[in-house]
Amino acid sequence: MPEQREIIWHQVRPGEERPARPATAAEARRRLESGNADFAKIGDHGGRQVISVGPEAFGLPPTAGVGLAQEPFAAVLACADARAPVELLFNQAGNSIFVVRVAGNVPGRECLGSLNYAVANLPTVRVITVLGHTGCGAVSAAVDALLSPQVYLNVIHDPSLRAIVDALLAGVRMADLTLIDRYGREVRDHPRYRETLIDMSVTANAAITAVVLGRAVECPVSFGVFSLANRTVGSYGPDGWRAGLLDPPDGDTGLTELLRWGATNADL
């Protein structure tokens, strides 16, 4: 019989405790990280996760007939991919996260405007997190555009698709150069090259987007990659995959180091 898995939103009763809303960026980041750790764990071992929430998580205002106040503790810019549902993978209930989703989690004007709106109008937002994910279709399209001019020519005639691919190409190029630097030009002939380039480009794109947001929005920013393989949000470090969110890289050096760790861990 398959493992039983349950995630329950439990509305606290009067007098029952529930976790306080994070008061700082560090607390908000830890809440996302620990929520994801719980989500990943239930995939490994089965069992039940209980998320204690107030009535507002079900859309119920304190006074009947009055609109509910929006009080997310974090804003997340994530990909539209159906396999990376933001609240679910961070183990959060409704009214907890201001979610902006777009293919490739690219920081286009409307997305930046939405995040700026959240920071300016929702004082409970403590942190913005950029969330990429492994196996991203939008990033795969950008990788294919880099590897095959014909693919890019096909995209050129569709301005809406091209806007997404163009926004991703810088990260793809950085990942490509890092792999060539580490393994030589012949790495492009390796059968797993495309797959590796996609996953490294996902990290590069999330990191670059975090840098962009750090400059464009008045709020602390972090980023991470959701692994479809192990359900954790993390990134490659010197000793392999590590769960947890990161600060935006500090200029070229930080980004290069991050990509080198990805290249070192690549199975090429």
> Quick count: other Cβ atoms within 10 Å of Cβ 221?
25
Taking the least distance from each CB to Zn ion, the nearer of 137 and 254 is 137
**Smallest distance, Å, CB 79 to Zn ion?**
3
Q: Which is nearer to Zn ion, 80 or 177 (CB)?
A: 80
Residue 57 CB, nearest approach to Zn ion (Å): 27
Cβ proximity to Zn ion, 25 vs 139, nearer residue: 139
**CB of 226 vs Zn ion, minimal distance in Å:** 9
For the CA atoms of 27, 31, 34, 37, what is the dihedral angle to 10 degrees? -140
Contact indicator for 35, 85 with CB cutoff of 8 Å: no
Q: How far, in Å, CA of 202 to CA of 74, rounded?
A: 22
State the burial class of residue 162 (Cβ atoms within 10 Å of its Cβ: 0-12, 13-18, 19+): middle
Nearer Cβ to Zn ion (81/176):
81
- Rounded Cα distance between 53 and 137, Å, is 34
- Nearer Cβ to Zn ion, position 81 or 199? 81
| Nearest-approach distance from CB 202 to Zn ion, in angstroms | 8
Question: Which spans of this chain sit near Zn ion (rule: CB under 5 A)?
Answer: 79, 81, 136
Q: How far is the CB of 137 from Zn ion (least distance, A)?
A: 5
User: How many C-beta atoms surround the C-beta of residue 193 within 10 A?
Assistant: 19
